């Protein structure tokens, strides 16, 4: 298996759909191998600058300008406000469950939220590269 040239870079607004798929895949709500449709609500959330899953909080693994992996992470200081906004924008989210689940991170911490690699590109160390980045 020849390792392709992989570049790790900041995501841009144009990558919101891919980031949304990665976020949903990390929650077992999307399967890259059988799903093609994007979720417009998740794409809209990822296209904003002020949500947990923002493209501003995302790094991508690229092969020939095609995204094949994603890591979404952020400082704990933004968590509470960004969490409220993020989940207020997603229809069907159980607000009671959110209240009961409590904070996953807080000030002084850096949170690794979502890590996903397109199945066809697994086994090349892309997840490791994203974490090391």
> How many angstroms separate the Cα of 30 from the Cα of each of 20, 22, 27, 80, 133?
9, 8, 8, 25, 25
How many Å apart are CA 4 and CA 87, to the nearest integer? 36
Whole-model pTM above 0.75? yes
Give the confidence band of 36 by pLDDT, cuts at 50, 70, 90: low
Tens-place pLDDT, residues 100-131: 677 889 999 999 999 999 999 999 999 999 99
């Amino acid at each position: 298996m020849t390792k392709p040239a992989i570049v790790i870079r900041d995501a841009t607004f144009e990558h919101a759909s891919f980031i949304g798929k990665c976020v949903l895949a990390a929650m077992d709500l999307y399967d890259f191998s059988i799903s093609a449709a994007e979720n417009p609500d998740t794409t809209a959330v990822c296209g904003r600058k002020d949500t947990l899953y923002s493209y501003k909080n995302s790094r991508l693994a690229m092969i020939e300008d095609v995204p094949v992996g994603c890591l979404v992470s952020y400082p704990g200081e933004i968590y509470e406000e960004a969490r409220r906004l993020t989940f207020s924008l997603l229809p069907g989210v159980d607000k009671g469950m959110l209240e009961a689940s409590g904070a996953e991170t807080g000030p002084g911490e850096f949170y690794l939220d979502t890590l996903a690699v397109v199945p066809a590109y697994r086994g090349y160390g892309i997840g490791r590269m994203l974490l090391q980045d």
